[in-house]
Amino acid sequence: MITTDLKFNIEKTKDDYEILRVSKNDKWIYIGSKYNMKLEIDKFLDEVGEENDEKRVFLIYGFGAGEHIKALRSKFVKNRILVFEPNISLRNYINDISWIKKDKNIRVLCCEKDDLVDNIEKYIHEFNLSSTQVVTFSNYNNIYVNELRNFLKEIKDYFVGLNININTKIVFSKRWFETLIKNIPYMVEGTPIDVYENKYKDKPAIIVSAGPSLERNIDELKNINNEMLIISGGRTLRSLIDKQITPHLLTVADPGEISYELVKGYIEDLNVPLLFYEGTNEKVVEKHRGDKIFFSNNNFIDKIAEKTLVSFSVGGSVSHSMTACAIYMGCNPIIFIGQDLAYTNERKYSSISESNNRTEKFEEVKSENDIWVEDVNGGKVRTSLGLDQFRISFEYMIKYYKDIKFINATEGGARIKGTIEMPISEVIKKYKAEKIEPMETIEYPIKMRQNAIKALEEAEKAANFIIRKSKKTLRYLDDLEISYIMKNTNKVSAILARLDEIDGEIKEKYSDIELIESLLYPITYKVLTEKEYNNKPNNDEMKKIVKQNRQLYGEFIEELKYALTYINETLLKLKDT
């Protein structure tokens, strides 16, 4: 629990501030100081610090009587302030406070754990996470010990997830663009997964993952004679095929070269549909000879398909995508095997799922940041922060889809809350259904090839336009720096006006280059997270502003030139086919 229900009173302090008093364990306790509340507020403001950056977001634990929030607002007039109050008895009192109602940038949360992340993510995101400060007011940490501990765990899990997402986008920015542009010719000939919605309504599906426990029970799948839908990732494909177990659907999502290495020698002749997306390694898509089905997480692909396509880019792993696909196709129950989400027996993967070229040694995998979580037998098992985040994501999915039965038949690894734990042999006996038909091609009536050619030509024009405007901006920046130093205010104003005009022209064309959104993410992230300067910067600040913008537009030009090479190659391929 992150909330409690305590009786309260609002009183006056000796120095004329309002103060909250709560009843806990038959004792009435002041939050703050009955005699010197100003000192408590000053301590709080000292902890917040002096840096006056409008991008800062304050997440405050404890509303009290609200006096410290008033003081924080006086000091930081425009910043976003989120307050979490653990005492639900205060909810109506807080909701009736007029200055809270009037301030659109103050939000007071008093909710249960299940709703916390849904509320927090509206205000704290990847572009302001680094500017977010969590502060506990006064003696809240002594009064709400357990509630605070649980609150901080939820916040930590959310922040870790955001950081992983940011790092992934930065690391894979170029790679994702390359896979997107190279996969377009195959996507326009493939079929969106959207047409398979509820295709396997109430049919059981097994999600085969590559955790260390897979080798314990993979042979049990031989007892399935097309009575359950088997969905495999790339890492488990070889293990299944070698045991004469053919999956109904192969899912590959990772952009790395390892994705192809894991399926090489099998995928070339495999007559099983491939579920992929624009970020999937392009060699996998190219070499696969069966039907191709895709989902998308990209507005450019949506434009080609003439609809907002369903996305299975959830949770952070291919297993989450496979699970999301099973949910979308109406499968029930959904069964996990090989889903350890932990280092069972000090291994990352099962021995039958290792790469042909390299076996990962546990010494290379483990980290001092690893944690221990509850395992399926009630003991403890070692896991990484990343794997644990995957577990948390699964638990969110399971909780959301209440009408679906999720069964963990892994027989090892971390406990996944919300699942029924059962050996796979029993699952097969209890839930196998009638014969399941293979996934046949369903015609998609949209002319995606022509749409792709048109969209790529628009992107090419927009990229060339932005390159020209960015080069012009670089010339203006040189003039701006000189004019500022020379204190030629009229010229500075004229240049700034022209720069704003060019910026507007670039923004108008920006929607046409959403194709390269991932490629530009590191630049976008840098711009949106950098400190903002005041409206009247001094000479040193102006030099920094000019330098930052010069670097920004220089990188912008280089990335757009890089993208144009691939755009032109793909256009030729689409037109020649």
pLDDT tens digits for 297-311?
A: 999 999 999 999 999
What's the mean pLDDT in 347-367? 77
pTM of the model: 0.77
Whether residue 94 contacts residue 18, with contact meaning beta carbons closer than 8 Å, is answered with no
The Cα–Cα gap between 564 and 467 comes to 11
Q: Is the pLDDT of residue 342 over 60?
A: yes
The Cα–Cα gap between 474 and 552 comes to 10
**Can you list the pairs that 24-31 forms with residues at least 24 positions away whose Cβ atoms lie under 8 Å?**
24/143, 29/139, 29/143, 31/62, 31/64, 31/65, 31/137, 31/138, 31/139, 31/140, 31/143
Confidence at 195, pLDDT banded by 50, 70, 90: very high
Confidence at 433, pLDDT banded by 50, 70, 90: confident
3-state secondary structure 379-398: CEEEECHHHHHHHHHHHHHH
Q: Is the pLDDT of residue 491 over 70?
A: yes
Q: Write down the pLDDT at residue 534.
A: 55
How much is the mean pLDDT over the chain? 91
DSSP letter for 194, please.
G
Between 546 and 282, residue with greater pLDDT: 282
Comparing CA positions, the residue from 529, 543, 503 lying closest to residue 54 is 529
334 membership: H or E segment, kind and range: strand 334-337
Quick one: fold of 8-170? Rossmann fold (3.40.50)
Q: Is the pLDDT of residue 357 over 70?
A: no
CA atoms within 13 A on the CB side of 487: 1
- Angle (CA) 34-37-39 rounded to 5° is 130
Whether residue 33 contacts residue 40, with contact meaning beta carbons closer than 8 Å, is answered with yes
Phi, psi of 232 (to 5 degrees): -115, 145
- Comparing 37-41, 71-75, 117-121, the range with the smallest average pLDDT is 117-121
C-alpha to C-alpha distances, 404 to 196, 201, 269, nearest whole angstrom: 18, 11, 34
